[in-house]
A and B are shown apart, each in its own frame.
Chain A
C-alpha cells in the first residue's frame, strides 16, 4: 500500500511539473491585470488584441500554410520513397536508410545553417525556402512510419491480383494502400507536428518579414512578455489537445503501435 501511495505521489509531482506552467498561462490569459501574480478580474481582452494583431494573425497563417504544405509534400515523396526502398535489395535499403537518418540525427541548428548556406548561394531566402527546409526534415518521419507497414503487408495477395489481370496501379490501390494507410496517416500527422513545433530550422531559412509563430514569439520574447501571448498559448494548447485526442482515440488510432503517440 505504501508503495502504491509513493507511486501516486510521484506521478502527481511530475504531473504538477508538466502542467503548472500551462495552467498559469491559461489563467493569466483571462486576467485583466497585466501583473503576473495579481488577479484583476476576468477579461477576454487579450484574445481580442491577439485576433486584431495583424502580425500575429499573419504568423499564424504562415505556420498553418508551411506545416500543411510541407507535411503534404513530404507525405507524397516519403510514401513513394518507402515503396521504392521496400523494393530494393538489402544493400540499397541500408544505404537509403542511412541517408534518411542524417536529418533526423543532425542537430537542428546544423540542418538550418547548412540549408541557409545553400539557399543564399543559389536563390533568396523567403517563404519557399522555409517550406523546402520543412519538407526536407519531414520526409524521414513519413518513411519511418510507412516502411514498417509495407514490411508487414501481405505480398502474395498483391502478386495474385497481378496474376489475375489487375493493373499494377489497381492492385496497389486495392491491396497495398489499405494496408499502409494508417502508416501514411500517422506519418503525415507526425510531420505536421514537427513542422508546427520547429524553431531553429525556420529561424535560419526564413526571409526577412516572414515569421512563423515560433520565430515571432522568439523575437517578441526578447523584447518582453506581452499578455496576448498567454492567449495564444491557451489556443495552441487547445489545438494540441484536440489533435492528440483525435490521434490517440480517433478512428484511425490503434493503440500500442509504434509511433502511435509521438
Chain B
C-alpha cells in the first residue's frame, strides 16, 4: 500500500496548494514589506499603531469577544437539551436547528437589517404595545446581534457533536459511584466536551474578528472594524501595501489567538470538520 506511485496521487494537490495557497501568502508578505515603488519598509505593518487602526482593532476584538461569549452561552445549554432528547423526533429537532444556518449568509444579514430598521417589524410591534422603539441599527449592538445570528451554528455544531460522542455508560458509571449531577457536569460532561467548545470558540471568534460585510451593512459606516479598514485600503484607496501590512497583522493575530486556544484543548480547530 505504501508505495510511491500512490503517494504521487497527491501531486496535483501539492502543486495547487503551492500555487494558490503558499504563493498568495507570499504575495501578502511581499506587498506588506515594500513601498509602492518596491523598496523595503516596515511602515505598512507598524501603521497598525496609528490611532484609527488601533481603535478599529480594539473594537473588532471587543465585538468578536462579545459575539463569542453570547454564542457560547446560547449554544451550550441548547446542545445539552438537544442531546438529552431521545425518541423518534430527535433527528428532526436537530435538523430544525441546523436548517436556518444554511440560508445564504448575505440574506441572513438582510433579514436582520429589515427587522431592526426604524420602521421595521420589531419597532412596530414595540410601538403597538406602547413601548419605545429600539434605535439599534447603525450601532455596534446591531453588528453583534447579526454576528451572533450568523455564526451561532459554528458554535452549536461542534459542541453538539462532542456531546453526542459521550457514552451514556460513562455518565451512568459516575452516578453509580455517587456523583451528584453537578459533579457529573463538571467532572465528566464539561471536560469531555472541551474540544468541541474550543473548536466552537475558534470557529466563531475568527470570522467575527475579521468580518467586514456585517459591520458595513448594519453599521451604516459608523462601525469601523479592522476588516473594514483593510477592505477600504484595497477597494477604495487602492493602497495595497498598507492593506497587505494590516492583513499580515490580522493573520498573526488570528494565528496567535488560535494557538492560545488550542493549547487549552486537545483537538485542533478543524476538529468538527
Please report A residues at the B interface, Cβ cutoff 8 Å.
Answer: 7, 10-11, 14-15, 17-22, 24-25, 28, 35-37, 77-78, 80-81, 83-89, 92, 96, 99-111, 113-118, 121, 132-133, 135-136, 139-141, 143-145, 155, 158-159, 193, 196-200, 203-204, 213-214, 217-218, 221-222, 225, 229, 232-233, 236-237, 240-241, 243-245, 248-249, 255-256, 258-259, 261-262
Contacts and interface: CB of A to CB of B under 8 A. Distances in A.
Contact of A7 (B27, B81, B247): B81
Interface size class for chain B? 35 or more
Interface stretch (B42-50, B167-175, B208-216): B208-216
Given A11-B81, A88-B7, A92-B7, 19 more contacts: A7-B84, A10-B77, A14-B78, A15-B96, A18-B97, A22-B103, A37-B120, A77-B16, A99-B17, A105-B269, A107-B207, A109-B230, A121-B27, A132-B20, A217-B107, A244-B102, A248-B91, A262-B157, A262-B273
Interface of B is mostly: helix
B161 interface: yes
Nearest to B95: A248
Contacts of B14: 81, 96
Interface string B235-270: 000001001100100110011001000000000111
A117 B240 contact: yes
Given A107-B207, A221-B217, A21 B149 contact: yes
Contact of B20 (A136, A198, A221): A136
A236 B103 contact: yes
Given A105-B270, A236-B104, A218 B7 contact: no
Contacts of A222: 216-217
Contacts of A249: 91
6 contacts: A36-B117, A114-B247, A121-B27, A240-B102, A249-B91, A261-B98
B7 A109 contact: no
A88 B74 CA distance: 42
Contacts of B243: 113
A225 B20 CA distance: 36
Nearest to A101: B270
Given A218-B106, A240-B102, A10 B6 contact: no
B107 A25 contact: yes
Contact of B270 (A20, A104, A217, A243): A104
Interface of A is mostly: helix
Given A36-B117, A213-B104, A110 B27 contact: no
Contacts of B111: 21-22, 24-25, 233
A232 B107 contact: yes
B153 to A, nearest CB: 8
Given A101-B270, A236-B104, A256-B164, A107 B28 contact: no
Contacts of A85: 10
A194 to B, nearest CB: 10
A78 B109 CA distance: 32
B9 A240 contact: no
B134 interface: no
B106 A217 contact: yes
Contact of B250 (A28, A107, A143, A155): A107
A243 B31 contact: no
Interface string B111-136: 11111010111001000000000000
